[in-house]
Chains A and B, each alone.
Chain A
């Protein structure tokens, strides 16, 4: 056995993670680990009602509690103009409720005390007089004429309608459907789920009363975007705001938005003149922070009798909760849902999405969804299986028949996406070979004879990740391009500063590998600085699998700038023309004479020395860049899941899961595989266990890990991974991003497998999560609605 400490390593390939050195020792630094002198603790009072008028709030008993310094309500904030804050979708959200509460768990008051326990005690002493109102919990009824209006704070908002948005050619699609031999329709729900990172959200705000500088330690996937938004919300000068995102205990899109608790820690620090920490508990996290999905879809698929898919048509009711706070490119109110045409060559496609308010927490875009591509992939892959059911076709063969062919790339979809590259049939074939697909079908047939229920589920996905380009994609006017800055010190050690922020993806390692690959420096000699707005260049952050596609590209290009400069320096050192030099991985040598060489380390020292450089060439070896991606990247994959279903209970056991991923060039295969593993567990969880449901009063039914079930090691099989590599033609290193692929692709494979298992019962579709009860009811011909506990 070799030791685990650092070994010399350069460039791409498996290497151990730099961040693990501190994390396995318990020496990470998460927000709740931050301790500042004089630090106070904040806690939020939250609404017990989903929809109610606030008649009065009495804070006197809370204020009289020992150790309590202040109790802040919405009325206090009103005076400061801070009762409402803008969301990332051009709506507003209450920081602390003033007029009404609009979802259970909404923020109502904030207590600041000497310690966490005292703050919690005081929260219990606040008396609020509510007048309960009827709640809107069923998105499908949100637009009923008699539905209570949730957002009466907004002028001209007479109903619960947020937006209508469409994509594709409706007339052409209608014509394809009118002439098709086979048309199948299916109602499909992607229920509300929550990413539930193991670390909840929190912040420590430290406003220096003398300098006026605010330092905010916070659970943020997008520190720079947060800094700008705080400047705009609170009117604080942006150069006096420093946002630090230290180690983050998982994000998955949940830590992109700005939550009232963060704002209140800032307000608390301004009010008290001392640092204020706010860290929510698990129930608060599950009830109030960004959920995911809640898409109520009606899909239609048109095909020929022999299984050539012609078109897709989708209508969606999108439940956005009480405030429209989805975190996504602003011009895309349904995210990238219009990649619902999937991996197939269609004649026409059209989708229409209607966003509605309900009395539930805001959010919608989170949980490794690549801006709604989870919903899109689930829709199309379910519809293909529904078609296979009707045509009595094999789902893998039906897909193989309709997949885009390698020679069709770059391929422009019916909704305008330009897929950059791919070999889809190769990936599906590999997955089928790894699974032993034909043998599995034979086993299934034998088992069916004996009354045993075994299912094989297939799903194919195409992702669209790495937003921008900035011209088309921005968040609140901030273009989605990212900066990088690289300094090579005189001794040849490097510091890379990036705008994106790891939440476990291993950026400190992989981004060092990108620099090492370009400059020949050992991975150990490259320090990656991130998560501190005072120390890193501007950029939009880590979500939508955009770190490698955008910031990774910036890193490669800034390293190439360094290499270009190093060539000039090396030429001066060797007294030759730069054109006479050749790069050899870690050094420049004179063409045809490898002995006449200068390593990057030698060049770095010379660049800082008294060496005379050509006119106009600055000394040192530093560079900066901003990368504006020309297009998204399009990772893809083929997944096959094998399940056994207990005919007596409806219980599902995932026996095998085969995942073939193509994310282009892999920087660190170990980390790529880890990303895929995590996403596959998400798929098992969403397909079988996870749902945030509500009762008719709007009570949240998943507010703890006893109610919101997440997969453990026992529900997960040992994942079987395969890979193909189709480099992205426009990315500097050919990489495509992989953080969300498996979460996007896997839920449908599991669902398709379960439904395949219970096909003998005549079940064509049933909604997630396929709990034993849901499977059992579907087998009895009584599919249940999984998102509502309403009879």
Chain B
């Protein structure tokens, strides 16, 4: 079957098997390898992307279900050569080590801040609790998200 999915603003039209997972469509058909696959059981969350503005685990969505919809991936965070504040926060606060969970964490973090610009530590922990990181013990991921929240708040004041 033919599906068309708009990924980071570009339409991707491909002939696919109905069983093709969205994560594989993104990686293989669209060639965007920033989104990772990690577990098959919706536990690890390294495959998190946005589907119509909401984070989803793309290993649990068929590409066919995303036909005609909008997807945003980690490659779509940087705008006009400027890193998103969550990307900056992860760099500033050492929110990543091996980097494998990072794309999913970044997409969840961006969605959280859009929804709640000033989250508490607990709110951040709840937001990322459907995702696994094996390197950071989560501490610096929490700090990274707070860093991004504070940066955005300070930019809003200056704007």
Q: Do A and B belong to a common assembly?
A: yes
A617 an interface residue at 8 Å Cβ cutoff? no
Q: Collect the chain A residues with CB atoms within 8 Å of residue B83's CB.
A: 4, 24-25
Stretch binding the partner chain, chosen from A56-64, A237-245, A397-405, A706-714: A706-714
B136: contacting residue among A24, A503, A674, A714, CB under 8 A: A674
Would A504 and B98 be within 8 Å (CB), given that A26-B75, A197-B134, A713-B141 are in contact?
A: yes
Could you tell me the distance between the alpha carbons of A712 and B43 in the complex, rounded to whole angstroms?
Answer: 10
Could you tell me the distance between the alpha carbons of A26 and B72 in the complex, rounded to whole angstroms?
Answer: 12
Interface of B is mostly: loop
B62 an interface residue at 8 Å Cβ cutoff? no
Would A671 and B94 be within 8 Å (CB), given that A678-B135, A681-B137 are in contact?
A: yes
Question: Contact between A705 and B39 (Cβ–Cβ < 8 Å)?
Answer: yes
Q: Collect the chain A residues with CB atoms within 8 Å of residue B73's CB.
A: 26
B103: nearest chain-A partner, CB-CB: A26
Would A713 and B129 be within 8 Å (CB), given that A24-B91, A24-B96 are in contact?
A: yes
B87 an interface residue at 8 Å Cβ cutoff? yes
Question: Contact between B132 and A249 (Cβ–Cβ < 8 Å)?
Answer: no
Rounded to whole Å, the gap between the CB of B62 and the closest CB of chain A is: 13
Question: Contact between B91 and A16 (Cβ–Cβ < 8 Å)?
Answer: yes
Rounded to whole Å, the gap between the CB of B113 and the closest CB of chain A is: 15
Could you tell me the distance between the alpha carbons of A27 and B24 in the complex, rounded to whole angstroms?
Answer: 17
Q: Collect the chain B residues with CB atoms within 8 Å of residue A26's CB.
A: 32-35, 73-75, 103
B97 an interface residue at 8 Å Cβ cutoff? yes
A250 an interface residue at 8 Å Cβ cutoff? yes
A117 an interface residue at 8 Å Cβ cutoff? yes
Could you tell me the distance between the alpha carbons of A678 and B24 in the complex, rounded to whole angstroms?
Answer: 29
Would A718 and B39 be within 8 Å (CB), given that A19-B99, A24-B83 are in contact?
A: no
Rounded to whole Å, the gap between the CB of B60 and the closest CB of chain A is: 13
A285-313 at interface with B (beta carbon < 8 Å): none
A1-37 at interface with B (beta carbon < 8 Å): 1, 3-4, 16-17, 19-21, 23-30, 32-33
Could you tell me the distance between the alpha carbons of A680 and B35 in the complex, rounded to whole angstroms?
Answer: 27
Rounded to whole Å, the gap between the CB of A446 and the closest CB of chain B is: 26
Rounded to whole Å, the gap between the CB of A504 and the closest CB of chain B is: 3
A490 an interface residue at 8 Å Cβ cutoff? no
* Binary CB contact string for chain A from 90 to 125 against chain B (1 if under 8 A, 0 otherwise): 000000000000000000000000001100000000
Q: Collect the chain A residues with CB atoms within 8 Å of residue B136's CB.
A: 674, 677-678, 681
Question: Contact between B134 and A1 (Cβ–Cβ < 8 Å)?
Answer: no
Question: Contact between B139 and A719 (Cβ–Cβ < 8 Å)?
Answer: yes
B interface size (C-beta, 8 A): 61
Would A249 and B137 be within 8 Å (CB), given that A24-B90, A26-B73, A199-B98 are in contact?
A: no
Question: Contact between A249 and B100 (Cβ–Cβ < 8 Å)?
Answer: yes
Question: Contact between A714 and B125 (Cβ–Cβ < 8 Å)?
Answer: yes
Question: Contact between A250 and B100 (Cβ–Cβ < 8 Å)?
Answer: yes
Rounded to whole Å, the gap between the CB of A379 and the closest CB of chain B is: 24
Rounded to whole Å, the gap between the CB of A558 and the closest CB of chain B is: 26
Would A23 and B96 be within 8 Å (CB), given that A282-B41, A704-B39 are in contact?
A: yes
A691-745 at interface with B (beta carbon < 8 Å): 704-706, 710, 712-714, 716, 718-719
Q: Collect the chain A residues with CB atoms within 8 Å of residue B88's CB.
A: 3-4
Question: Contact between A506 and B38 (Cβ–Cβ < 8 Å)?
Answer: no
Question: Contact between A712 and B41 (Cβ–Cβ < 8 Å)?
Answer: no
Q: Collect the chain B residues with CB atoms within 8 Å of residue A676's CB.
A: 137
Q: Collect the chain B residues with CB atoms within 8 Å of residue A249's CB.
A: 36, 98-100
Question: Contact between B34 and A674 (Cβ–Cβ < 8 Å)?
Answer: no
B71 an interface residue at 8 Å Cβ cutoff? no
A488 an interface residue at 8 Å Cβ cutoff? no
Question: Contact between B137 and A198 (Cβ–Cβ < 8 Å)?
Answer: no
Q: Collect the chain B residues with CB atoms within 8 Å of residue A713's CB.
A: 124-126, 128-129, 138, 141-142
A625 an interface residue at 8 Å Cβ cutoff? no
A281: nearest chain-B partner, CB-CB: B40
Question: Contact between A198 and B40 (Cβ–Cβ < 8 Å)?
Answer: no
A661-687 at interface with B (beta carbon < 8 Å): 670-671, 673-681
Q: Collect the chain A residues with CB atoms within 8 Å of residue B25's CB.
A: none
Q: Collect the chain A residues with CB atoms within 8 Å of residue B33's CB.
A: 26, 29-30, 32-33
Q: Collect the chain B residues with CB atoms within 8 Å of residue A706's CB.
A: 41, 43
Rounded to whole Å, the gap between the CB of B57 and the closest CB of chain A is: 12
Could you tell me the distance between the alpha carbons of A261 and B131 in the complex, rounded to whole angstroms?
Answer: 27
A505 an interface residue at 8 Å Cβ cutoff? yes
Q: Collect the chain A residues with CB atoms within 8 Å of residue B124's CB.
A: 713
Could you tell me the distance between the alpha carbons of A364 and B35 in the complex, rounded to whole angstroms?
Answer: 32
Rounded to whole Å, the gap between the CB of A655 and the closest CB of chain B is: 14
Could you tell me the distance between the alpha carbons of A17 and B140 in the complex, rounded to whole angstroms?
Answer: 14
Rounded to whole Å, the gap between the CB of A371 and the closest CB of chain B is: 20
Question: Contact between A506 and B97 (Cβ–Cβ < 8 Å)?
Answer: yes
Question: Contact between A198 and B37 (Cβ–Cβ < 8 Å)?
Answer: no
Most buried by B among A24, A247, A714: A24
A466-512 at interface with B (beta carbon < 8 Å): 503-506
Question: Contact between B137 and A677 (Cβ–Cβ < 8 Å)?
Answer: yes
A670: nearest chain-B partner, CB-CB: B94
Question: Contact between A198 and B46 (Cβ–Cβ < 8 Å)?
Answer: yes
Could you tell me the distance between the alpha carbons of A281 and B43 in the complex, rounded to whole angstroms?
Answer: 13
Rounded to whole Å, the gap between the CB of A116 and the closest CB of chain B is: 8
Question: Contact between A17 and B74 (Cβ–Cβ < 8 Å)?
Answer: no
Question: Contact between B87 and A24 (Cβ–Cβ < 8 Å)?
Answer: yes
B79 an interface residue at 8 Å Cβ cutoff? no
Q: Collect the chain B residues with CB atoms within 8 Å of residue A719's CB.
A: 137, 139
Could you tell me the distance between the alpha carbons of A45 and B125 in the complex, rounded to whole angstroms?
Answer: 39
B52 an interface residue at 8 Å Cβ cutoff? no
A252 an interface residue at 8 Å Cβ cutoff? yes
B97: contacting residue among A29, A281, A674, A705, CB under 8 A: A674
A349 an interface residue at 8 Å Cβ cutoff? no
* Binary CB contact string for chain B from 17 to 51 against chain A (1 if under 8 A, 0 otherwise): 10110001001000011111111110110100000
Question: Contact between A678 and B75 (Cβ–Cβ < 8 Å)?
Answer: no
Question: Contact between B38 and A199 (Cβ–Cβ < 8 Å)?
Answer: yes
A249: nearest chain-B partner, CB-CB: B100
Most buried by A among B134, B137, B151: B137
Rounded to whole Å, the gap between the CB of A467 and the closest CB of chain B is: 23
Q: Collect the chain B residues with CB atoms within 8 Å of residue A503's CB.
A: 98
Question: Contact between A198 and B44 (Cβ–Cβ < 8 Å)?
Answer: yes
Could you tell me the distance between the alpha carbons of A20 and B121 in the complex, rounded to whole angstroms?
Answer: 23
Could you tell me the distance between the alpha carbons of A295 and B40 in the complex, rounded to whole angstroms?
Answer: 30
Q: Collect the chain B residues with CB atoms within 8 Å of residue A30's CB.
A: 33, 36, 100
B89: nearest chain-A partner, CB-CB: A4
Most buried by A among B74, B121, B124, B134: B134
B101 an interface residue at 8 Å Cβ cutoff? yes
Question: Can you give 5 A-B contacts (C-beta < 8 A)?
Answer: A32-B27, A32-B33, A247-B99, A250-B135, A706-B43
Task: Pick the 10 closest A-B CB pairs, nearest first.
Answer: A26-B34, A249-B100, A504-B98, A23-B99, A504-B97, A677-B137, A705-B43, A681-B137, A26-B74, A713-B138
